[in-house]
Amino acid sequence: MRPIWKGSISFGLVYIPIAVYPATREEKLSFRQLRKTDLSPIRYKKVADADMKEVSADQIVKGFEYERGNFVILSDEDFQKVKIESTHSIDITDFVDLEQVDPKFFYKPYFLEPQKGGEKAYALLHKALTGTGKIGVAKVAIGNREYLASVKPDGLFLVLDLMHFAHEILQPAELNSGNSTAVNERELKMAQTLIESMSVPWEPEKYKDEYRDALLEIIEQKAQHREVEDKPVAKPRATNVVDLVKVLQESLNRAQTVKPKRSASRNGNRSTATLVKQKRRAAA
């Protein structure tokens, strides 16, 4: 894995050289647009609005439309003249309690790896943050843009989590939250019981992208010139809930019958895995 950025973490007089690595990846299927008659790929040309003529790359400049129809042109040199302190450093200015930060502020995590000479300070910061339940709030510039970010412990590593600025968080003032609707005690207790009955340990690996898998299956069938099977579509659920207590009770009954099966399945998988390991040890 190659780092996307190298620099340092700094707070107070502490300086920790680090490298930044992606912590997530987005797996989505990519499609090309083709001409229907001969499946020739479609290309996109860059043309000018004034005369619809194609424009070569060396004739394209970057402009900011400060008012309708009027632009300010910025060159590469102009971008280089923007000097901000966070260009080569993740400068932690504050430490705050993680629980105080609205989760909507976080949007993209990166792993931080200590570089030579920074291992001890890195480990110290990791343990200190873990023990206090706090995160470091910082500024960092990546790819000609400055980000608000946080430094927080995650397992054995520190993670740099890029964040939205406050003005980027939308306020749902016009949306209906439903809080004005009265909820009685019986409904609340049944809902809480249902939540408890469906609660399981967090196992992210068990959640699959079923749409992507189904689409790949169709792609494979068409690639092999097989007929694509038309699978039945599940009926949409009723949206007009008249008797909420009845629906909650039915959900509870269903959850109580499904949960034992899940537990049995997990136990069975572990037992099978254990037997396989035992057979391998015996064979060795």
DSSP string, 109-133: EEEEEEPTT-HHHHHHHHHHHHHHT
| pLDDT score recorded for residue 114 | 95
Strand partners, 15: 10
Count the domains in the chain. 1
230 found inside a domain: no
- Global pTM? 0.68
255 confidence band (pLDDT: 50, 70, 90): confident
Furthest-apart CA atoms within the chain: distance in Å: 79
What average pLDDT does the structure give for the chain? Answer: 83
237 confidence band (pLDDT: 50, 70, 90): low
CATH classification at residue 156 = 2.40.290.10
Residue whose C-alpha is closest to residue 75's, from 91, 93, 63, 66: 63
95 confidence band (pLDDT: 50, 70, 90): very high
| pLDDT score recorded for residue 173 | 78
20 found inside a domain: yes
| pLDDT score recorded for residue 215 | 83
| pLDDT score recorded for residue 134 | 96
246 found inside a domain: no
Phi, psi of 210 (to 5 degrees): -70, -30
130 found inside a domain: yes
Quick check: helix, strand or coil at residue 63? Answer: strand
Give alpha helix (H) positions in the chain: 76-80, 119-132, 185-197, 210-223, 244-283
Residue 69 confidence (pLDDT) above 80? yes
pLDDT in tens, 180-224: 678 888 888 888 888 888 888 989 888 888 878 888 888 888 888
62 found inside a domain: no
Residue 92 confidence (pLDDT) above 90? yes
231 found inside a domain: no
pLDDT in tens, 112-164: 999 999 999 999 999 999 999 999 999 888 876 789 999 999 999 999 999 99
| pLDDT score recorded for residue 166 | 92
35 found inside a domain: no
Print the domain residue range for 12. Answer: 5-24+82-168
234 confidence band (pLDDT: 50, 70, 90): low
Strand partners, 10: 15, 91
38 found inside a domain: no
Residue whose C-alpha is closest to residue 97's, from 142, 150, 47: 150
| pLDDT score recorded for residue 152 | 96
| pLDDT score recorded for residue 129 | 96
* Maximum mean pLDDT: which of 1-5, 35-39, 140-144: 35-39
Q: Each residue of 200-225: b (16+ CB within 10 Å) or e?
A: eeeeeeeeeeeeeeeeeeeeeeeeee
